[in-house]
Amino acid sequence: MADQHHQAWWRSAAIYQIYLRSFADGNGDGVGDLAGLRSRLPYLAGLGIDAIWIVPWYPSPLADGGYDVADFRAIDPIFGTLAEAEKLIEEAHAAGIRVICDIVPNHCSYQHAWFQKALASAPGSPERDLFWFRKGRGPDGEQAPTDLQSIFGGSAWTRVPDGEWYLHLFASEQPDFNWDHPAVRDEFEDIVRFWLDRGIDGIRIDSAAVLIKDPLVSDVYEDNEGIHEIYQSWRRISDTYTPPRALIGELWLPDHEAFARYLEPNELHTAFNFAFLNAPWEAAKLRYEIDMTLEVHAPVAAPATWVLSNHDVTREVTRFGREVTNFAFAEKRRDVPSDLDLGARRARAAALLIMSLPGAVYLYQGEELGLEEVEDLDDALREDPMFHRSGGVNPGRDGCRVPLPWSGTEAPFGFSPADATGEPWLPQPAAWAGKTVAAQEGDPASFLELYRQALRIRRTEPSLGDGPMRWLDSDPEVLAFARDDTFANVTNLGTTPAYLPPHREVLISSVPLNADGTLPSDASAWLRLS
């Protein structure tokens, strides 16, 4: 079993998330694309990551940043072509980088051919059975079938001209599939095969726990009976490929035992660790989440995952600089002050912490540059339905999706070519001139070089990645653990310097040690013990 686990790359991988619209613009229209990503593969290889995860690249009207999919077997022309996606997979493999794509099984775009046929068909038709069309309440059916609320705010039901209502757990432009219908299950099994046949190494499953539901009976739409049969069938498909491909679940489940059931040996290979991501910058709470994560994963022999941010979450430099450092969608508000210098210091320490924990690590593009959340976007530029459906109370997720700065002293900072005809789809802050890749390269104190050095060590250090860990004696405000008899991590979340355990060498530290060899506050260090 150990040898089998050793061969399973997803157990120890450093995986870099690509938000394609904002990574690199190859054709100069202001939107990131496959040409831009292909041109930056050398950068990714040099960074030291093992795989990239690309958010939906499918044709989409972009009502929800591409998670409203109009065609699951094609590439949106704004990004390129299917042939170009296949070329990307080939070139990434040649560079030693695996490729993970997103599949969105809970819903599609209102422009999807199936939904358009459903709208054109009569109530009770087979076309409508593929979705959740229902009659409304009241004498004329003018009230929604239930009071169920959308995750994005407002009712989860929208009425169509003939009087019926359809369900959408997210935006109204994202109708939910009816997963009780065998045609839906067959369709997605075919979609899974379609992408695996093209060399995709893994599939990230969006909103993986909400597929099965009966919205007229219950407003509980997470982790319902029958959900596991779906992923067991997908696992049987993935296991027919050599080597087997990874299935990765997006599971926002507070129940740890329920979470673990998705990671049984015949189901998903791994899942995102949102409990750790949501935790505040506090030693006791982080230690609890680390212990709980490892405890939950152990019985099913699944690898843990660690992540600080993604395309949905306030960037950690901003989050860790606030008085309240945890993340929760329901609590996200505008105009919350942040000490970005403090946030950056903590983000550097947190990066070394997660890269040394057992299992796989996910990095979000721009994290390695120390980018902060862009919070002063003009409201007219904001696209996120979370912003619009909350009436502007929730600032939405656009602030963590601003295009990356690559070089130069003014926008677009190398995101687009010099002869670009379009502005970046979201504006970049002028202050990012000092945070471009070019500005940070070669600077040993920069975020970029910290990440490069840590990822190099992580790839070559046998004790890192998947495997055991043990806590070391330390102050309550210090997280100190060993991965074996030769490697240790110490992260100081307290307000006073921390003494390091006996060691032979400091491999890397998020900030320089004090003159007396102690670890400063809000800092992390990797140690060679013997």
pLDDT at 253: 87
State residue 488 phi and psi, 5-degree precision. -145, 150
Q: What is the dihedral of CA 289, 295, 299, 302, to 10 degrees?
A: 40
How many CA atoms within 13 Å lie on the side-chain side of 338? 25
Q: Which residues pair with 364 in a beta bridge?
A: 17
Which value, in Å, is the radius of gyration of the alpha carbons in the chain?
A: 23
Edge-to-edge strand order for the sheet containing 246-249? Answer: 270-271, 246-249, 202-205, 98-103, 51-54, 14-18, 360-364, 305-307
- Where do we find the tokens 């070559």? 460
Is 206 assigned a catalytic role? yes
- The pTM assigned to this predicted structure is 0.95
Q: Which residues pair with 92 in a beta bridge?
A: none
> Which one from 173, 223, 250, 267 is the annotated catalytic residue?
250
Amino acid in position 350? A
Look at the chain and count its residues. 530
> Which one from 64, 201, 206, 316 is the annotated catalytic residue?
206
Digit-coded pLDDT (tens) for 158-179? 999 999 999 999 999 999 999 9
Write the CB contacts of 97 (distance below 8 Å, at least 6 apart in sequence).
41, 44, 45, 49, 50, 51, 52
Q: Whole-angstrom Cα distance, residue 319 to residue 367? A: 13
Is 71 assigned a catalytic role? no
Nearest CA among 312, 294, 316 for reference residue 303 = 294
* Torsional sign, CA 375, 378, 384, 387: positive
What mean pLDDT value characterizes the chain?
Answer: 95
pLDDT less than 50: residues of the chain = 1-6
pLDDT at 6: 43
* Torsional sign, CA 220, 223, 225, 231: positive
Nearest CA among 402, 380, 371, 385 for reference residue 30 = 402
What single string gives the DSSP state of each residue in 64-114?
Answer: TTT-S-S-TTS--TTT--HHHHHHHHHHHHHTT-EEEEEE--SB--TTSHH
Helix axes of 182-197 and 227-238: crossing angle, nearest 10 degrees: 30
Q: Whole-angstrom Cα distance, residue 68 to residue 257? A: 30
Q: Whole-angstrom Cα distance, residue 305 to residue 310? A: 13
